[in-house]
Amino acid sequence: MQHHQNPWQQRAFKVLKQYYGYDSFRPGQGEMIRTLMEGRDALAVMPTGAGKSLCFQVPALLMEGITLVVSPLVSLMKDQVMTLVANGVAGAYLNSSLNERQMEKAIRNAAAGKYKIIYVAPERLLTKRFQEFVQQAPISMVAVDEAHCVSQWGQDFRPSYLDILPFLEGLPHRPVVGAFTATATPQVKEDIIRLLGLISPQEVTLSFDRPNLFFRVMEPKDKKQALWQFISGHEGQSGIVYCATRRAVEEVAAFLSDQGISAAPYHGGMEHALRAKHQEEFLYDRVQVMVATNAFGMGIDKPNVRFVVHYQMPKDMESYYQEAGRAGRDGQKAWCLLLYQKKDVALEQYLLRHRKDLSHLTEEEQAKVTQAEQERLKQMVWYCKTKGCLREYILEYFGQKAPRQCSACGNCLHYFRTEEPTGLDMAQKKAVDLWQSREKKLGQYEDHPLFLRLKEVRKTLAHQAGVPAFVIFSDRTLEAMTEKMPQDRDDLLHIPGVGQKKLLLYGDAFLQAVRTYLRDR
């Protein structure tokens, strides 16, 4: 009998290719998969866009039995399951968006072993019906996505995440548990391990640097004017504008619409159905710009967001980096602009005082929380005022080292308060060149006629299937097709992002487009 060092490793690569159409793992993925496959708990601290989902989806496909994925938001679950199913994986979700009959049907299917991966809202875990199911079902792994939601130190504390530990303890066999987050502060990490009851977990922490994001702070006299100018320079590109208040959201959205820019508002004060509609329009690229409060957020896995503008300074660096980080999830170049004015500080002070109900805490605890908030706000203001490298500032805030030459932030390029780089010395000139050459490389097929044609094909297919375009193929995959011009199915399988299922469903349509292009060129 032949012995392999890691008998599952070959299968992992096979699954990666077959379902996702990728040839290699990204940093950290291999280690997370190995750890979970070996039956050991694991905690992944990886920035947004690093590819955390694959870290639990691949082992889920390799293991016997069912994997449960605890996820905090309905929209997040829907997107992820849609993407999974498009890749040919048997997945489903259980959350409040299903009515009683749909829920019953989904659970019955699950009990019949029809799903390999089930996304579940934390509120479901201890319900009677779900318990009936899990007590009988072979649950081999539980993946806790956005695991920082369990911590009160984090931004997104969800009390129902505290149900996860009793849930695990109540299972007939304790499954292996993987926790995933993009929030790295030591307190949050400690909380995750303790409150989820992870058993001597393997920790995998990645750099928080996002080299494809360009950071910039401006202090314009007229924010609306600055915003309009910025968005005009990003015609047809998907973007988010974050505002601190609902009123600002309405105002800015109306302003942009008046300027002929396709924009829609999103905030907690809107009727649920309208909010959902706007989110969907944005997701499906029918609306270019989403103007939103931070209520618009965690569920946004849209990979092709090209810019995130903060119309007002957020309350802390955690919020800022999380929100700004929604840009460029596909690895392509994207812009993060913060429009700062001194009065933003007073506004945030006011919001901090009125936002949180601390009455359930003791006086001493209240004082502590308030002090921590003030400290975080101060650090945020410093970010807006620093003349040093913005990337370095961000990474140091999260306890990480920055690359020596950033060359992709407004301060390094001396864009700080002026529109154009002026008076650059040699080093800065070099930095500009570097950034511009990288910029070229990242978007070199943007206007290519074949790329545009492939986008059309994708749009048609997405429309027919009733899914957002990125569920069919990412921009990156279409760029690779433009570069490689695949002639047959075999060629196509070599394009990153093309797996077996998508080859069957969509392969011919794209091959046809390439052939037509080559013939008519």
Containing H/E element for 119? strand 117-120
The CA-atom distances, in angstroms, between 244 and each of 283, 325, 358, 385 are 22, 17, 21, 19
For residues 121 and 74, the answer to whether their CB atoms sit within 8 Å is: yes
Question: Which string of x and - marks every residue 46-65 that binds Mg ion (by CB under 5 A)?
Answer: ------x-------------
Enter the DSSP assignment of 255.
H
Nearer to Mg ion, 52 or 315 (CB): 52
Nearer to ligand ADP, 22 or 115 (CB): 22
248 contact partners, CB below 8 Å, separation of at least 6: 311, 312
Minimum distance between the CB of residue 19 and Mg ion, rounded to whole angstroms? 17
User: Binding-site residue total for Mg ion (CB under 5 A)?
Assistant: 1
Minimum distance between the CB of residue 471 and Mg ion, rounded to whole angstroms? 15
For residues 96 and 110, the answer to whether their CB atoms sit within 8 Å is: no
Nearer to ligand ADP, 26 or 459 (CB): 26
Cα 304 from Cα 333, distance rounded (Å):
10
Containing H/E element for 216? strand 213-218
Nearer to ligand ADP, 54 or 431 (CB): 54
The single residue listed with the structure tokens 């990156």 is 476
Proportion of the chain in helix, strand, coil states, percent, rounded to 5: 50, 10, 40
For residues 209 and 46, the answer to whether their CB atoms sit within 8 Å is: no
Under the criterion CB under 6 A, does residue 301 sit at the interface with ligand ADP? Answer: yes
Strand partners, 489: none
Report residue 425 as tokens.
């010395």
Under the criterion CB under 5 A, does residue 458 sit at the interface with Mg ion? Answer: no
329 binds, among ligand ADP, Mg ion, none (CB under 5 to 8 A by kind): ligand ADP
Which bin fits 496, alpha (ψ -120 to 50), beta or left (φ > 0)?
Answer: beta
Nearer to Mg ion, 34 or 52 (CB): 52
Residues 317-336 that bind ligand ADP (CB under 6 A): 329
Residues 48-87 that bind ligand ADP (CB under 6 A): 48-54
Nearer to ligand ADP, 265 or 328 (CB): 328
Under the criterion CB under 6 A, does residue 25 sit at the interface with ligand ADP? Answer: yes
Minimum distance between the CB of residue 146 and ligand ADP, rounded to whole angstroms? 9
Report residue 225 as tokens.
């004017």
Q: Binding residue for ligand ADP (CB under 6 A) from 46, 110, 334, 390?
A: 46
For residues 55 and 28, the answer to whether their CB atoms sit within 8 Å is: yes
Strand partners, 44: 180, 204
Minimum distance between the CB of residue 145 and Mg ion, rounded to whole angstroms? 6
Start-end of H helices in 312-425 = 317-324, 343-355, 363-385, 390-397
Nearer to ligand ADP, 251 or 483 (CB): 483
78 binds, among Mg ion, ligand ADP, none (CB under 5 to 8 A by kind): none
Minimum distance between the CB of residue 196 and ligand ADP, rounded to whole angstroms? 18
Cα 485 from Cα 71, distance rounded (Å):
38
Under the criterion CB under 6 A, does residue 17 sit at the interface with ligand ADP? Answer: no
**Burial per residue of 169-184, b for 16 or more beta-carbon CB atoms within 10 angstroms, e otherwise:** eeeeeebbbbbbbbbb
Cα 176 from Cα 241, distance rounded (Å):
39
Residue whose beta carbon is closest to ligand ADP = 51
Could you tell me which stretch among 46-54, 199-207, 213-221, 433-441 binds ligand ADP (CB under 6 A)?
46-54
Nearer to ligand ADP, 267 or 306 (CB): 306
212 binds, among Mg ion, ligand ADP, none (CB under 5 to 8 A by kind): none
50 binds, among ligand ADP, Mg ion, none (CB under 5 to 8 A by kind): ligand ADP
Residues near Mg ion (CB under 5 A) = 52
Residues near ligand ADP (CB under 6 A) = 22, 25-26, 29, 46, 48-54, 301, 303, 329, 474, 496
